[in-house]
């Protein structure tokens, strides 16, 4: 017991994973009853905190929709103790961290992470959110624009639209019915017209609802528990406790009038889908028995005999998933979501019949203990051998769990099911009846055929009532298909022993080199988990030499994944996953998870490649799905379109989407059949094997790959000639020139415009890299504050580094309804002028502090095997092989001086610099059509070049050199390996 807090829990009260060496302690502050979980992790580089406040948009007052969400935005601005606006974000960003928040129906969660040395002050600044925030009038007026901009971003998202329609079709009196995001209309226009002062209401909401007894805090630190406890007692004891009651609403959001209905919905994207939704008993009440998970596991299964397997076989569906959502102690929904093909759209009733037939199959087959045991075994293994994740996400998840689960299960949640209760599962199964659901059917085909509109998003829909007799009749005539329950999962690992590492190598070593492949090997020396990763990149010159070849490679990888799904789905359930994707030089496969059965899955993937054949029925379905993906690009956010155009301009091997679509629409199965052996006829393999695998087994794996594709009795591939190594180079912009590409947004219904302002700087180099990184660290928050908080250009406002094939640059991305892209471009340049002054005036001790913060970020240890593999694979696939990059960049940082940084800025980033190279991509939304027309007629000034034809522009430009390709590339592997091996032995 301490002076300010009662220690209610000790470490062994909280169940934790076997491989978790962190220490935990639950405390409740004596002064205000704030419940806290302390986590001590001496090995962490980042510290984090997450405050979960038990109030969400369900508590919004009538006529002030989105007030809880608006308050979430406002708490970040300033407090009485730290009155400088955005000073919290500035502190966090400049000390290697990040921060965010979210508002849900019942909770609002605030969170941040930061470098360990800066945690104490960050925690003090964070605590002031909940003690004395300023909520100034000026900030309130400006931040309403940010909330409205955030809502504008969501207006044309089918996910947001369908979610709100589900809420709209519920009891008006139930808080589930509410619009939680808020917009200018709900937070400014209507309140003003009714004489309501929004700031007064904001302060009132804060005072009435933000009470310490409704808060749960997680603090994840490097210090011992006692010191963390003292820190929390000092920083958080002044949060008020007004003994506010928890929000409880025992009534159900749906009455009978909201069930037994078919709702036809007009989506934004050209897709077809159905969602069947049931109100159910919340699964969270029975998290040890997992009844919802059991049913979701079976209904959402994708193996042979499953509902999805049959729908896929019939050519009616492209995906199926199940979920329990809005889960709380009071109410929940179970949903089955099915993406339909064009043919499936014509068989909607048959699909629903098959769904209920499968539910009946589960009922009549009985509740199987072996299925429950299998799920429990997988969950138990996943919990005890979980990967360590970054402190921020870990803290957020636990803070949310603290409001739901008893203390001992804050970390476990439903990960250790232990009570097989067939009667409970049967009871929940009875809730999934045809008369207890509603069906949402979304399709563009319903455009012009609906008579209702959801008020907040403008979603068009219509309702057809379904009587019990019509439902019964509807369920007749179920298609005669061989549905059956899944079989036992052969991919569940049973050997979780750790291999003995003969040599403590620090970096990947080149274990094997042949005319066909390079094998890089990195055993696990850090994480001690029975997991491994194998990544193989097939560099195939025939896969990327033309527009047609690129499209054919794409559809090859889609078909391959499609064919693997039935067997690989079992592996995925057992936490053994795979990925197949096309690349600019061919395609890539990766397999990762528990190493015990990893090789079985890898060999299954390789067998499907070696014996690949095109199945015409699946080709038609995949082709249709890919065509819709291309066509739906026009519904992407303008900032996504701008980023795409920027990549198209900068990358040598990129093709116009319109041309790719035209090729795809004319494609026939025979063309893919003819192309695949041609693509594979010449190849070179780059491989990384990492984790809990011994070197002999790593060599054996790649030897087997070579036997299949190169040296066996029926070889598929031949090695590459040095001249055949495929490359994808980057366009070099001229010094002192500003390029711009302007276009209209593809969706006329989207009012927002977007700008990508890119500054091309240098090719990969340790010293130049750290200069750019340091400038980005210093400027990132300044840009957010000026362009987002002060000028309110738009909710999406980012400044980040960009890396294209080793070509580094700085990139602003801004989406705005307030100003057109050309105006936003001028605001970016004005910001750079303001930043120039701040950079020149920076004190030396502040400069040193920034350098040290960046060093701390760079020296962060990998959290898990996958982070480590991603880092090393980026070096391998990029041809740089700088596995010791961190060491040399930290060394360059320590030698960097402030004058050198300013010189770098003056040469490459400063407005008007003769060496500066800028590319602006401007996408004009429908609210700026006249501005787009005006810009097209303007005369281009000196030093600027308008890019009208992207392909013609690229053909006229020189290219940067490439790190990969041919003889020099192979030589660099050998040279780098000798260096790496020597350092690994140190």
- Name the band, by pLDDT with cuts 50, 70 and 90, for residue 326: confident
Catalytic residue among 35, 65, 94, 143: 143
Q: What percent of the chain stands above pLDDT 70?
A: 96
- Name the band, by pLDDT with cuts 50, 70 and 90, for residue 502: confident
What is the structure's pLDDT at 969? 53
- Name the band, by pLDDT with cuts 50, 70 and 90, for residue 11: very low
| pLDDT tops 70 at residue 356 | yes
Tens digits of residue pLDDT in 550-569:
999 999 999 999 999 999 99
Per-residue b or e along 586-615, where b marks 16 or more CB atoms closer than 10 Å to that residue's CB:
bbbbbbbbbbbbbbebbebbbebbeebebe
| pLDDT tops 80 at residue 971 | no
What is the structure's pLDDT at 504? 78
495: closest CA among 523, 532, 534, 526? 532
Q: What's the rounded mean pLDDT across residues 880-901?
A: 97
Q: What's the rounded mean pLDDT across residues 587-605?
A: 97
Contact between 341 and 314 (Cβ < 8 Å): no
- Name the band, by pLDDT with cuts 50, 70 and 90, for residue 472: confident
Q: Determine whether 844 is exposed, middle or buried from the number of CB atoms within 10 Å of its CB (0-12, 13-18, 19+).
A: exposed
CA-CA distance, 248 to 784, in Å (whole number)? 38
Tens digits of residue pLDDT in 397-433:
999 999 999 999 999 999 999 999 999 999 999 999 9
| pLDDT tops 50 at residue 986 | no
In the predicted model, what is the mean pLDDT of the chain? 94
Beta bridge partners of 628: none
What is the structure's pLDDT at 592? 98
| pLDDT tops 90 at residue 614 | yes
Sign of torsion over alpha carbons 603, 609, 610, 614 = positive
What is the structure's pLDDT at 973? 60
Contact between 185 and 68 (Cβ < 8 Å): no
Tens digits of residue pLDDT in 707-720:
999 998 889 999 99
What is the structure's pLDDT at 841? 95
Tens digits of residue pLDDT in 278-305:
999 999 999 999 999 999 999 999 999 9
Tens digits of residue pLDDT in 619-644:
999 999 999 999 999 999 999 999 99
| pLDDT tops 50 at residue 742 | yes
Identify the H or E element spanning 261. strand 261-265
Tens digits of residue pLDDT in 894-922:
999 999 999 999 999 999 999 999 999 99
Domains identified in the chain and CATH numbers: 6-237 (3.30.830.10), 261-373+406-475 (3.30.830.10), 509-719 (3.30.830.10), 730-973 (3.30.830.10)
The region of weakest confidence among 311-320, 322-331, 651-660, 854-863 is 322-331
- Name the band, by pLDDT with cuts 50, 70 and 90, for residue 970: low
Contact between 746 and 633 (Cβ < 8 Å): yes
Tens digits of residue pLDDT in 44-77:
999 999 999 999 999 999 999 999 999 999 999 9
What is the structure's pLDDT at 980? 40
Contact between 863 and 807 (Cβ < 8 Å): no
The residue count of the chain comes to: 986
What is the structure's pLDDT at 451? 97
| pLDDT tops 80 at residue 680 | yes
The region of weakest confidence among 3-17, 564-578, 714-728 is 3-17
- Name the band, by pLDDT with cuts 50, 70 and 90, for residue 874: very high
CA-CA distance, 657 to 631, in Å (whole number)? 9
Tens digits of residue pLDDT in 425-469:
999 999 999 999 999 999 999 999 999 999 999 999 999 999 888
Tens digits of residue pLDDT in 752-797:
999 999 999 999 999 999 999 999 999 999 999 999 999 999 999 9
What is the structure's pLDDT at 2? 43
For residue 18, how far is the Cα from the chain centroid?
28
The answer to whether 72 is a known catalytic residue is yes
- Name the band, by pLDDT with cuts 50, 70 and 90, for residue 247: confident
| pLDDT tops 90 at residue 977 | no
Which DSSP string do the residues of 322-390 spell out, in sequence order?
EEEES-SSS-EEEEEEEEE-HHHHTTHHHHHHHHHHHHHHHHHH---HHHHHHHHHHHHHHHHTPPP--
Q: What's the rounded mean pLDDT across residues 134-153?
A: 94
Tens digits of residue pLDDT in 110-126:
999 999 999 999 999 99
Identify the H or E element spanning 738. strand 737-744
**127 or 8, greater pLDDT:** 127
Residue written as token pair 């207006």: 155
Catalytic residue among 72, 188, 637, 889: 72
């Amino acid at each position: 017991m301490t002076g300010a807090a009662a220690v209610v829990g000790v470490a062994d009260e909280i169940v934790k994973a076997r491989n978790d060496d962190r220490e935990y302690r639950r405390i409740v502050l004596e002064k205000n009853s704030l419940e806290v979980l302390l986590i001590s992790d001496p090995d962490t580089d980042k510290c984090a905190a997450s405050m979960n406040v038990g109030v969400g948009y369900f508590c919004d007052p009538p006529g002030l929709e989105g007030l809880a969400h608006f308050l979430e935005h406002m708490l970040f601005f300033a407090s009485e103790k730290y009155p400088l606006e955005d000073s919290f974000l500035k502190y966090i960003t400049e000390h290697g961290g990040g921060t965010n928040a979210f508002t849900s129906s019942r909770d609002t969660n605030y969170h941040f992470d930061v470098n360990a040395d800066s945690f104490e002050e960050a925690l003090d600044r964070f605590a002031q959110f909940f003690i004395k925030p300023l909520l100034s009038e000026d900030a309130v007026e400006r931040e309403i624009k940010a909330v409205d901009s955030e809502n504008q971003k969501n207006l044309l998202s089918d996910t947001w639209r369908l979610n709100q329609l589900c809420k709209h079709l519920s009891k008006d009196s139930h808080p589930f019915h509410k619009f939680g995001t808020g917009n200018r209309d709900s937070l400014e226009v209507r309140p003003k017209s009714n004489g309501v002062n929004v700031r007064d209401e904001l302060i009132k909401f804060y005072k009435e609802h933000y009470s310490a007894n409704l808060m749960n805090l997680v603090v994840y630190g490097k210090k011992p528990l006692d010191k963390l406890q003292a820190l929390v007692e000092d920083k958080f004891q002044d949060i008020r406790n007004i003994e506010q009651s928890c929000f409880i609403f025992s009534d159900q959001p749906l009455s009978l009038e909201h069930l037994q209905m078919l709702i036809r919905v007009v989506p934004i994207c050209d897709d077809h889908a159905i969602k069947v939704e049931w109100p159910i008993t919340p699964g969270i009440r029975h998290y040890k028995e997992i009844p919802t998970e059991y049913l979701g596991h079976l209904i959402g299964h994708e193996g042979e005999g499953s509902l999805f397997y049959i729908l896929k076989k019939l050519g009616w569906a492209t995906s199926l998933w199940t979920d329990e959502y809005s889960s709380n102690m009071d109410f929940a929904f179970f949903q089955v979501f099915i993406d339909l093909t064009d043919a499936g759209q014509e068989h909607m009733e048959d699909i629903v019949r098959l769904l209920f037939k499968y539910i009946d199959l589960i009922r009549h087959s009985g509740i199987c203990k072996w299925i429950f045991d299998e799920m429990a075994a997988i969950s138990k293994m996943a919990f005890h051998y979980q990967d360590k994740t970054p402190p921020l996400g870990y803290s957020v998840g636990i803070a949310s769990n603290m409001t739901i689960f008893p203390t001992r299960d804050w970390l476990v949640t439903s990960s250790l099911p232990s009570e097989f209760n067939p009667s409970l599962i049967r009871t929940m199964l009875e809730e999934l009846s045809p008369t207890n659901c509603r069906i949402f059917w979304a399709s563009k085909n319903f455009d012009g055929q609906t008579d209702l509109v959801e008020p907040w998003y403008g979603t068009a829909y219509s309702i057809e009532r379904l009587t019990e007799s019509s439902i019964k009749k509807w369920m007749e005539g179920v298609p005669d298909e061989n549905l059956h329950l899944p079989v036992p999962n052969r991919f569940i690992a049973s050997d979780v022993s750790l291999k003995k590492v003969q040599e403590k190598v620090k970096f990947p070593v080149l274990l094997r080199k042949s005319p066909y492949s390079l094998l890089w090997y990195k055993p696990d020396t850090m994480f001690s988990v029975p997991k491994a990763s194998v990544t193989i990149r097939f560099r195939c010159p025939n896969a990327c030499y033309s527009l047609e070849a690129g499209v054919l490679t794409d559809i090859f990888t889609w078909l391959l994944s499609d064919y693997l799904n039935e067997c690989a789905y079992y592996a995925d359930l057992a936490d053994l996953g795979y990925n197949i994707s096309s690349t600019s030089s061919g395609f890539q496969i990766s397999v990762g998870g528990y190493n015990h059965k990893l090789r079985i899955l890898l060999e299954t993937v390789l067998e499907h490649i070696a014996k690949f054949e095109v199945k015409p029925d699946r080709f038609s379905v995949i082709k249709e799905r890919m065509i819709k993906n291309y066509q739906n690009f026009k519904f992407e956010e303008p900032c996504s379109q701008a980023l795409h155009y920027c990549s198209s301009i900068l990358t040598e091997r990129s093709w116009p989407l319109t041309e790719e679509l035209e090729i795809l629409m004319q494609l026939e199965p025979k063309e893919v059949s003819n192309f695949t052996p041609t693509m594979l006829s010449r190849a070179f393999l780059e491989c990384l094997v990492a984790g809990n695998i011994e070197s002999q087994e790593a060599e054996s794996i790649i030897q087997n790959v070579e036997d299949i594709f190169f040296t066996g009795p029926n070889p598929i591939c031949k090695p590459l000639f040095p001249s055949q190594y495929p490359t994808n180079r980057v366009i070099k912009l001229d010094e002192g020139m500003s390029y711009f590409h302007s276009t209209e947004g593809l969706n006329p219904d989207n009012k927002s415009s977007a700008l990508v302002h890119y500054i091309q700087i240098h090719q990969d180099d340790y010293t130049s890299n750290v200069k750019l990184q340091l400038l980005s660290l210093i400027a990132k928050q300044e840009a957010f504050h000026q362009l987002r908080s002060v000028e309110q250009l738009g909710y999406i406002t980012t400044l980040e580094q960009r890396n294209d094939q080793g070509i580094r640059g700085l990139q602003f991305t801004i989406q705005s309804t307030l100003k057109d892209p050309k105006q936003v471009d001028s605001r970016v340049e004005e910001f750079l002028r303001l930043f120039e002054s701040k950079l020149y005036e920076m004190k030396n001790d502040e400069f040193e502090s920034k350098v040290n913060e960046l060093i701390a970020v760079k020296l962060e240890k990998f959290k898990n095997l996958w982070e480590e593999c991603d880092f090393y694979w980026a070096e391998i696939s990029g041809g740089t092989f700088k596995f010791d990059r961190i060491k040399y960049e930290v060394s360059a940082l320590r030698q960097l001086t402030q004058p050198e940084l300013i010189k770098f800025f003056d040469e490459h980033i400063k407005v008007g610099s003769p060496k500066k190279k800028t590319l602006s991509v401007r996408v004009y939304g429908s609210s700026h059509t006249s501005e787009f027309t005006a810009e097209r007629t303007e005369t281009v000034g000196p030093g600027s070049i308008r890019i009208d034809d992207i392909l013609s522009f690229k053909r006229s430009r020189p290219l940067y050199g490439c790190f990969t390709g041919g003889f020099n590339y192979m030589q660099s592997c050998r040279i780098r390996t000798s260096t790496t091996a020597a350092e690994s032995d140190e």
